[in-house]
Amino acid sequence: MSNALYDTAPDFSQPIAVLKHCHDRIRKQLQTMQNLLAHLPMHGADVDAQKAAQAVLKYFNHAAHLHHDDEEQNLLPMLQATARDADASLLAELVPAILAGHEQMDRDWTIIKTQLEQIANGTSTTLSASDVARFCDTYAAHMVQEETHIATMAKRLFTPEQMAQLGSAMQVRRGITPDLPPSQVPEQQAVPVNNTVADGVVLADLRLDYGRASLTEQDVLDDPIAQFGKWFEEAMHAKVNEPNAMSVATVDADGKPSSRIVLIKQYDQRGFTWYTNYESQKGQQLRANPRAALLFFWSELERQVRIEGSVVQTAAEESDKYFYSRPVKSQIAAIASQQSAPIANREQMEANYDAAAAVSGEQPVRPAHWGGYRLDPVRIEFWQGRRSRFHDRIVYEKQADGSWVKERLQP
């Protein structure tokens, strides 16, 4: 019933051939699912059916996403940076559909995966023909479009150096150390050691040409908090990876800056709230200089939001409310850790946790040194990526009377 997961693949010096090879393997797994549909009514979740389901799960859980990443992070951006005229116009039409196809296939796979997992362990014989048909049809059309247009364009436009860069990036993604012959090493790599290279590409040459949306003065709401809420909801609906993650930048008494990623827990007209240890590095810096800058970056939507303002501690009642909403183990961790202070080793950290757990039991008490900060914004900037680095930037500045004035900034 199942197909071998591993077979002979083209060398990564032929990255477009590798992508076609990935398509062929995907087609085999799609055929296995279709065979499984016919097999289950007659034989149930027998050994052959379980092996078939396991093979499909193994491929789409562990290998298929690499193919999508090859396209989204390397092939398509490289083509967008290279294509001109008719090729560029064709890409502008195709790329949004390809990215939407990836998202659709990911959603469909989530549905089919649950069914296959139950077949793989012998607890169910149910595999929806309509779900499989939708998944297979979407994948088949997607692969034909890429082979017809994207692959042929890459083979026509890419230089040997670009092909080498693409192949190298694909190897790195798969945990393979690139081992390219001198003739295929990109010319940009023949540079002094201090010219850092990542994924086979000189960092100075890394660029993604944005183009998914625009931002005009008419697009944004008059209230920047409402506008933030609108973008945050869109980030949630787009399934952005951790849309609530933000960088918090602070400055110490000597003017030395530092930043870190934290999770926003609330935003409203009063400002933007997060929780932490007041004795941590950021806590000490905020005592010395109670101003900070926040940054949200939603790469999937090609957006960022920059927020600046003054910071105050939240009321004890608010800190209590959030602290007691956390899992007990997280409450104990907040008690046990002297955040940002040195410690000898992990074992000592675990010992401190065990000691705090023994004292706290199932009802820990919020320590006075742990609570919330709220940034009261005076400046909020919305940034939308655009092609050729000609980005859209709309900034709001708070006035003395509490009103907001917005204007466009040059990129």
| 212 annotated as a binding-site residue | no
| 196 annotated as a binding-site residue | no
What are the start-end ranges of the H helices in 63-84?
A: 64-69, 76-82
Token reading at 112: 């089919």
| 231 annotated as a binding-site residue | no
| 258 annotated as a binding-site residue | no
| 275 annotated as a binding-site residue | yes
Q: What are the backbone dihedrals phi and psi of residue 383, each rounded to the nearest 5 degrees, phi first?
A: -120, 125
| Residue with the two structure tokens 């540079």 | 191
| 73 annotated as a binding-site residue | no
| 282 annotated as a binding-site residue | yes
| 262 annotated as a binding-site residue | yes
| 346 annotated as a binding-site residue | no
| 389 annotated as a binding-site residue | yes
| 322 annotated as a binding-site residue | yes
| 126 annotated as a binding-site residue | no
| 130 annotated as a binding-site residue | no
| 306 annotated as a binding-site residue | no
| 313 annotated as a binding-site residue | no
| 330 annotated as a binding-site residue | yes
Burial of 361 (0-12, 13-18, 19+ CB in 10 A): exposed
Residues 113, 120: Cα–Cα separation, whole Å: 10
| 326 annotated as a binding-site residue | yes
39 φψ region: left (φ > 0), alpha (ψ -120 to 50), beta (else): alpha
SS3 label, residue 17:
helix
b/e sequence 340-354, b meaning 16+ C-beta within 10 Å: eeeeeeeeeeeebbe
**Which residue positions form the known binding site for substrate?**
265, 322, 326, 330, 389-391
**Which residue positions form the known binding site for FMN?**
260-265, 275-276, 282, 304, 339-340, 383, 393
**Which residue positions form the known binding site?**
260-265, 275-276, 282, 304, 322, 326, 330, 339-340, 383, 389-391, 393
